[in-house]
Chain A
Amino acid sequence: MRRIYLLLLAVGLSSTTFAGGYRVALQGVRQASMGLTSSMHARDASIAFFNPAGLAFVDSKLSIAVGGFGIMNTSKWQNAKTMESAETDSPLGTPVYFAASYRPVEDLTVGVSFTTPFGSTVKWPEDWAGKANVTEIELKSYFIQPTVAYKFNDWFSAGAGFIYAMGSVNLQRTMSVAGNDIGLEIEDTDAHGLGFNVGAYFRPSQKVNIGLAYRSKVDMKANYGEVTWTDVPTALSATMPFSSNEFSASLPLASEFLAGFSYQATERLLLAGEVSVHGWSKYKSLDIQLENTESGETYDSKATKNFIDRAVYKFGAEYQATDMLALRLGYYFDESPSPAEHWSPETPSTNLHAFTGGIGFKFGEGFYIDAYGQYSMGVERYVHNVESGFEGDVNTNAFIFGLGLSYNFLN
């Protein structure tokens, strides 16, 4: 008779996650400086991302827009019950965009945009209280969107784009089994997904522009991503999940519906307002499957997210101080999609009051330089994740700056 022994260890991977929806709505410097109003600003090709139809109203045959941003984001956490606190030391986030449009025949405009509309870079202290959730995360996405727009008449156009999305994720955390810290890093640089973008643009009078657009959800799928464990006790090294070497996961990048309106109040003053509705409710849970490719064993980690659809209200103004210089201001209110009972520090999300301001220079007939700065002021909230037990007061704030160039060839 073989020796009978009993399994002493049943090891559980705590139910936490690696990424949340983090929309970075920075795909045009001028738009950003006017409180993110976007769907009706058809100055240059950068509107392709926001509203494909708008390309038809860009008043040049060829338009090129390019820009970049720097995001300095800080998240803070404290728990008054245990008197613990921590603060992120996140590296500079650098979203960029490039867009070009061309009008081969009258009324038909084609274009392409390259953007980084979702992403997150968060670095918490190595040994902070929430290290089992996350110590560091870097989530990137790249959207390539070929676009076509058709102008039906002087006041209406429609457009559509196809989205090919690529992405990468790197998440690091320090888990613990009975007090034995075990490092986990998952990385995939080859995630991808598909989506589309449709829109309509109205110009009922020379003073009024209206944009309506819908961008679909994009499911970013990571397959065969790399899993690296560190400091695994010998006794656990052959046990799942610590023997896993690959992971698969899917992350929904939320859909967005935009309805915007601008009004040329005076010859020099442009006012804009927009509401965007973000389909975060598709982010119900984050399921990560870890796999040991040698043995075929799998391990499922599920974290409830139950995000909520949210509307963002945006207001912007542009004052053309001189023919060359424009001054811009804006404000928007961004409500957190993450409910307090499922809040997780890899997506440190709070309600935000965002104040934007910027300047624009115009040289010659169609060369623009735009610069802007933004302060996003978080609204303190109390969170208590019922699954992970993450608890405390959290707040975030961000300082963002950006520089953009646009060139419209007026031929």
Chain B
Amino acid sequence: MKKMKNLSKIFIAASLVAFVSCDQDFDEPIEDIVVTPGDADFSKYIALGNSLTSGFTDNALFISGQENSYPNIIASQMAIAGGGAFTQPLMPDDIGGFSNLGVAGRLKLVINPETGTMGPLATPAQSPLTMVNGSVNNMGVPGAKSFHLIAPNYGSPAGIGSYANPYFVRFASSPTTTVLADAAAQQPTFFSLWIGNNDVLSYATSGGTGVNQAGNTNPATYGGNDISDPQVVAGSIQAILETMRNQVGAKGVIANIPSITDIPFFTTVPYAPLTPEALGTETITTLNQTFSALNQVYDALGTPERKIVFNPEGPSPVVIEDETLTDMSQQIIQAMMAGGADQTTAYFFGMAFGRARQANENDLLLFTSQTVIGQINTERYQMLLGYGLPEAMAAQLSVNGVTCALSDQWVLIPSEKQAVLNATDAYNAAIEQLANAYDLAFVDAHAAMQQLSSQSGISYYGNNYNTTYVSGGAFSLDAVHLTGKGYAIVANLFIDAINLKYGSTLPHVNPNNYPGITIP
């Protein structure tokens, strides 16, 4: 029994020791984690790309946006693994734009005191274009297409407004140099390249007003809103990789490009935004009476799919102009006059709805179309007044998306969307193939953006990120570029790819700690 008593004492004593030393540590506390570069050398990192690389956000480039650019975030993590300094061509203020070039500064979300509605509003630029002294690590140039990175004179002050880019002018080493030449001259040990987005994006954001240049391999002949030929994109990227990998000898990472169908610029405005509340039920009745004459003509002409009907119970699609449709203006005019309509009315319908149809789920309305839908088209209005219509009637027949078909610049019709998607697929096939050929880390930004735009989005510690405008948190007010949070997510993607390829152990950042959008 004595023995048992002693055992008890020992146990109690042992327990008390445990109580006192009860601060348990983790098996591998983060304080003990050593971040290593693996096979990579991060001492001189250069980032190449376009606006996404520069830190462009809220439709402008400005200091705090640049500080949260994904290359700057990656560089801060590289610094833990022996990475060197990372300089950026910081803008002179936190507003951005160029006051001397008519380029506006950042968008801010404001409440309109008159209507109570909230929307983005551009801040006027306060600084002119300023030059940056010395070389920079972040060589992302807003607006750059793939072939621009190897285009001489792209940084020439004399070319601003035509062949040069003011953002590259700021830090180009000479007027004649190329982005690639300035990058290679810095002898980087590591580089990232994310380019090709603008080779389709400017076409898409212009509503497909440009030309699909597939088959034309001379970019000097391209307009600003054209789709670049996939061979031009692949060739430009290959030229960059040839220099950076084989001449400079840098290791690196390359990303493919997201689909436009996953970004809020093309997903925010539904094809059927005209609710009965917005139109007014009386207006809907009037509209349907007005369009019934035209719809009879469509039936008679064997094109019932063009009929225009507004739903009093639910949202109705907007009326758009589809330039791929056969122009039936003359048939409409003749049929309506044969049906007893006066010449002015017949002429109006023929002119206004010769290539019109209501939008459907295959059309993508541009983010910017919300500023015109439901508004009076002044051009149409003035013209109708000229015909002698009373003001009220002229106004009723000039409503954008309702009685005045939305023109090409506000909508991507299926053929335009398909051209963009085909080009995107072709670019991405080339990028992945080049990533393998040049033995680079590869970021599947296309897949990541699909995940972000999916129902579930991407969640970090109870904060969900998705591609919903504003509340989704990842996209900035311009609906194309990312917020600091979005760029942090991108930085993590690049870090994952780098770690996978080179065996480095760069830590992630927590996107929750980066700026989003200030909601008033």
Contacts and interface: CB of A to CB of B under 8 A. Distances in A.
Given A133-B462, A375-B19, A176 B516 contact: yes
Nearest to A128: B461
Interface string B265-282: 000110001100111100
Instruction: Identify which of A10, A82, A235 gathers the most chain B CB atoms within 10 Å of its CB.
Output: A82
A178 B462 contact: no
Contact of B111 (A6, A234, A357, A387): A234
A141 to B, nearest CB: 25
Nearest to A129: B461
Contacts of B471: 9-12, 177-178
B462 A3 contact: no
Contacts of A133: 461-462
Contacts of A269: 4
A132 B463 contact: yes
A324 interface: no
Contact of A5 (B117, B483, B519): B117
Given A177-B471, A387-B459, A389-B464, 12 more contacts: A2-B277, A3-B278, A8-B119, A8-B469, A78-B30, A82-B510, A83-B507, A132-B512, A266-B1, A389-B458, A389-B459, A389-B463
B519 A177 contact: yes
A83 B33 contact: yes
B326 interface: no
Contacts of A329: 8, 11-12
A90 interface: no
A357 B15 contact: yes
A390 B510 CA distance: 11
Interface residues of A, number: 64
Interface residues of B, number: 69
B393 interface: no
A234 B4 CA distance: 70
26 contacts: A1-B280, A1-B396, A1-B399, A12-B466, A80-B30, A82-B509, A83-B507, A84-B30, A129-B512, A131-B462, A176-B463, A179-B518, A234-B520, A266-B1, A327-B8, A327-B12, A329-B8, A355-B18, A375-B15, A380-B26, A387-B459, A388-B461, A389-B463, A390-B461, A393-B26, A393-B27
A29 B516 CA distance: 52
Contacts of A389: 458-464
B462 A4 contact: no
A24 interface: no
B472 A178 contact: yes
A86 to B, nearest CB: 11
Interface string A124-142: 0000011111000000000
Top 10 nearest A-B pairs (CB, nearest first) are A179-B516, A4-B374, A132-B462, A389-B459, A178-B516, A233-B519, A4-B278, A178-B517, A178-B473, A388-B462
A180 interface: yes
Contact of A14 (B22, B463, B507, B510): B463
A320 B15 CA distance: 20
A15 B19 CA distance: 37
A304 to B, nearest CB: 13
A353 to B, nearest CB: 10
Contacts of B235: none
A269 B16 CA distance: 22
B210 interface: no
Interface in B377-402: 396, 399, 402
A319 B4 contact: yes
A180 B119 contact: no
Contacts of A311: none
A398 B154 CA distance: 65
A236 B22 CA distance: 46
B299 to A, nearest CB: 27
A85 interface: yes
Most chain A CB atoms below 10 A, which of B23, B30, B396, B462: B462
A399 B279 contact: no
Interface in A7-27: 8-12, 14-16
B458 to A, nearest CB: 7
Contacts of B374: 1, 3-5
Interface string B473-495: 10000000001110000000000
A150 to B, nearest CB: 37
A130 B460 CA distance: 9
A175 B118 CA distance: 21
Nearest to B517: A178
Nearest to A232: B519
Nearest to A391: B461
A335 B460 CA distance: 27
A233 B519 CA distance: 6
Nearest to B32: A80
B211 to A, nearest CB: 30
A235 B519 contact: yes
Contacts of A83: 30, 33, 507
Given A14-B463, A327-B5, A375 B12 contact: no
A338 to B, nearest CB: 16
Contacts of A357: 11-12, 15
A178 B18 CA distance: 45
Interface in B106-122: 109, 111, 115, 117-119
A314 to B, nearest CB: 16
Residue in A76, A178, A234 with the greatest tally of chain B CB atoms within 10 Å: A178
Contacts of A176: 463, 473, 512, 516
A176 B133 CA distance: 39
Contacts of A327: 5, 8, 12
A373 interface: yes
Given A5-B278, A329-B12, A357-B15, A14 B462 contact: yes
A180 B519 contact: yes
B433 interface: no
B402 to A, nearest CB: 8
A395 B516 contact: no
A295 B396 CA distance: 35
B498 interface: no
Interface in B425-477: 458-464, 466, 468-473
Given A132-B461, A177-B471, A177-B519, A85 B30 contact: yes
Nearest to B119: A8
A355 B399 contact: no
A91 B517 CA distance: 36
A207 interface: no
A172 to B, nearest CB: 13
Contacts of B294: none
A82 B510 CA distance: 6
A71 to B, nearest CB: 13
A312 interface: no
Interface in A244-281: 266, 268-269
B305 interface: no
B470 A399 contact: no
Q: Most chain-A Cβ atoms within 10 A of its Cβ — which of B18, B26, B463? A: B463
A121 interface: no
Contact of B22 (A3, A9, A387, A399): A399
Contacts of A236: 519
A5 B15 CA distance: 68
